[in-house]
């Protein structure tokens, strides 16, 4: 098992390093904007600009082309171009001429691809391989006739019981007409779909092709657990529903008591471990690994209990045993690892062992993942590599936005 864990963690480290290397390569080529949206109008012409970002300061060739819906209506003014090592940013102009016919209402995702080739490569040949490509996604939204809205539900602040949660519905009017009034009824359901609460958001108008938001607040005075919020959005005689799951509190099983009742030194000590499931659903396959150490850290025993199911809002009891023959009176540390739903809770207790009793003195502990228990060092390295990767990606995006901002300011200054 140790060898398998080591091999698994080694693979994860290699994957993280590969991700880091990929991120550093991505710094060499970028495109802006990464995502944008336009509305479809029959026969309309839209001019746009892409910005090729050359962060590495390398000379290369680039091919620019369109893929996906409406790609046949896109004209790239310079589809093949050279980027010099001194050019940190290069503009690419394009034009979209929409057909005069009506299009299917809804969202259409067009991709504008920038593909990089080595400097000096013959891009018209068949043996040249591109080194990498980046994509700018252009969302073409074809409006729905009349009034048509879509939305997403966001829930914040519901993690702690008795706190105030904010329910925000972001609405987009994809219709050709303005919405006079939009509001929502929000219903809260428990794990067996019993309705626990009902409340309404505020009411707002939303213009055609515009966005808006409606909000409501609710104090989740319910037990810890998993819940579902169902929002019914009403607007000008129409409606649609959104469902979103959310949690109140932290999903965790914990020790409510651990004790040894009848005991004589030299016999088998039976530990009664009482676990509390404060969640609102049953948790199955719960078991405990117990180890006992003396004051020097020497392991005296190790025991794995049977697995049980702990009912929602109930307690369950497990039994662990320690054969105390040859054990001397004194202070011993009892460590419990509670396994449930792929998680671990670690608890440590000091027990005083005498000739005819075992008495609990105190407890310390924390909720942890199983991987953190087994391989803390390797996990730390992986996390560090991921953090470095994220820092590089964030730096890349900041650099792109900075360069785009400078370019746009320069254009505005030149226009004046």
Q: What is the pLDDT along the chain (416 residues), one digit of tens a residue?
A: 444 555 555 555 555 554 444 444 444 678 888 889 999 999 999 999 999 988 778 888 899 999 999 999 999 999 998 888 888 889 999 999 999 998 999 999 999 999 988 766 555 544 445 567 899 999 999 999 999 999 999 999 888 767 899 999 999 999 999 999 999 999 999 989 999 999 999 999 999 999 999 999 999 888 889 999 999 999 999 999 999 999 998 888 999 999 999 999 999 999 999 999 999 999 999 999 999 999 988 999 999 999 999 999 999 999 999 999 999 999 999 999 999 998 889 999 999 999 999 999 865 555 554 444 444 445 555 566 666 666 666 665 565 555 555 555 555 455 44
First to last CA, the chain: 71
- What's the rounded Cα separation, in Å, for the pair 240 and 252? 35
* pTM for this prediction: 0.65
Domain boundary residue, one of 142, 176, 206: 142
Number of domains in the chain: 3
Do 38 and 141 form a contact (C-beta atoms < 8 A)? yes
Do 93 and 136 belong together in one domain? Answer: yes
- What's the rounded Cα separation, in Å, for the pair 375 and 365? 18
Do 109 and 129 belong together in one domain? Answer: yes
pLDDT at position 127: 43
Do 226 and 281 belong together in one domain? Answer: no
Instruction: Indicate whether 367 belongs to any domain.
Output: yes
Do 48 and 31 form a contact (C-beta atoms < 8 A)? no
Domain boundary residue, one of 116, 142, 168: 142
Do 133 and 227 belong together in one domain? Answer: no
Do 281 and 233 form a contact (C-beta atoms < 8 A)? no
Counting every residue written for the chain, the total comes to 416
Query: How much helix, strand and coil, in percent to the nearest 5, is found in the chain?
Result: 20, 50, 30
Instruction: Indicate whether 109 belongs to any domain.
Output: yes
Whether the bond into 33 is cis, omega within 30 of 0: yes
- What's the rounded Cα separation, in Å, for the pair 66 and 71? 5
Q: How many CA atoms lie within 13 A of 402 on its CB side?
A: 8
Task: Name which of 315, 384, 376, 389 is nearest 346 in CA terms.
Answer: 376
Domain boundary residue, one of 220, 248, 276: 248
Please give the radius of gyration of the chain, using alpha carbons only, rounded to the nearest integer. 31
Q: How many CA atoms lie within 13 A of 38 on its CB side?
A: 17
Do 180 and 232 belong together in one domain? Answer: yes
Domain of 198, CATH number, reads: 2.60.40.2360
Task: Name which of 186, 183, 238 is nearest 205 in CA terms.
Answer: 183
Domain of 88, CATH number, reads: 2.60.40.10
Whether the bond into 14 is cis, omega within 30 of 0: no
Instruction: Indicate whether 52 belongs to any domain.
Output: yes
Do 238 and 264 belong together in one domain? Answer: no
209-247: string of b/e by CB count within 10 Å (b at 16+)?
eeebbbebebebebbbbebebbbebbbbeeeeebebebb
Q: Backbone dihedral region of 17: left (phi > 0), alpha (psi from -120 to 50 degrees) or beta? A: alpha
Which domain, by its residues, includes 320?
253-374
Do 244 and 278 belong together in one domain? Answer: no
Task: Name which of 153, 187, 149 is nearest 167 in CA terms.
Answer: 153
- What's the rounded Cα separation, in Å, for the pair 206 and 150? 12
């Amino acid at each position: 098992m140790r060898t398998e864990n080591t091999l698994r963690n080694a693979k994860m480290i290699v994957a993280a390093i590969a991700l880091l290397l990929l991120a550093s390569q991505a710094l060499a080529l970028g495109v802006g904007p990464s995502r944008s949206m336009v509305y479809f109008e029959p026969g309309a012409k839209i001019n746009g600009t892409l910005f090729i970002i050359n962060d590495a300061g390398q000379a290369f060739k680039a091919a620019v082309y369109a893929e996906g819906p409406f790609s046949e209506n896109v004209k790239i003014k310079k589809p093949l171009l050279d980027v010099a090592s001194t050019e940190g940013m290069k503009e690419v102009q394009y034009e979209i001429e929409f057909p005069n016919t009506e299009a299917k209402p809804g969202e259409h995702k067009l991709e504008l691809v920038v593909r990089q080739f080595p400097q000096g490569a013959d891009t018209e040949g068949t043996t040249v391989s591109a080194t990498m490509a980046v994509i700018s996604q252009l969302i073409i939204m074809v409006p729905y006739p009349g009034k048509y809205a879509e939305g997403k539900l966001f829930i914040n602040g519901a993690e702690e019981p008795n706190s105030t949660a904010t329910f925000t519905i972001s609405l987009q009017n994809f219709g050709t007409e303005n919405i006079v009034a939009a509001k929502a009824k929000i219903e809260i359901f428990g794990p067996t779909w019993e309705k626990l609460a009902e409340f309404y958001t505020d009411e707002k108008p939303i213009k055609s092709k515009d966005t808006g938001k409606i909000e409501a607040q609710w104090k989740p005075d319910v037990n810890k657990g998993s819940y579902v919020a169902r929002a019914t959005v009403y607007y000008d005689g129409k409606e649609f529903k959104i469902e979103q799951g959310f949690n109140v509190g932290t999903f965790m099983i914990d020790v409510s008591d651990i004790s040894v009742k009848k005991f004589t030194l030299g016999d088998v000590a039976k530990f009664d471990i009482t676990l509390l499931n404060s969640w609102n659903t049953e948790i199955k396959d719960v078991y405990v690994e117990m180890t006992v150490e003396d004051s020097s850290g020497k392991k005296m025993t190790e025991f794995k209990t049977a697995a049980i199911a702990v009912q929602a809002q109930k307690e369950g009891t497990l039994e662990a045993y320690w054969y105390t023959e040859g054990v001397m009176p004194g202070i011993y540390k009892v460590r419990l690892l509670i396994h449930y739903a792929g998680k671990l809770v670690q608890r440590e207790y000091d027990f005083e062992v005498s000739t005819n009793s075992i008495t609990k003195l105190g407890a310390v502990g924390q909720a942890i993942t199983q991987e953190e228990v087994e391989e803390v060092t390797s996990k730390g390295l992986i996390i560090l590599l991921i953090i470095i990767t994220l820092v590089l990606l964030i730096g890349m995006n900041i650099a792109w936005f900075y360069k785009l901002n400078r370019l746009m300011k320069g254009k505005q200054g030149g226009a004046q």
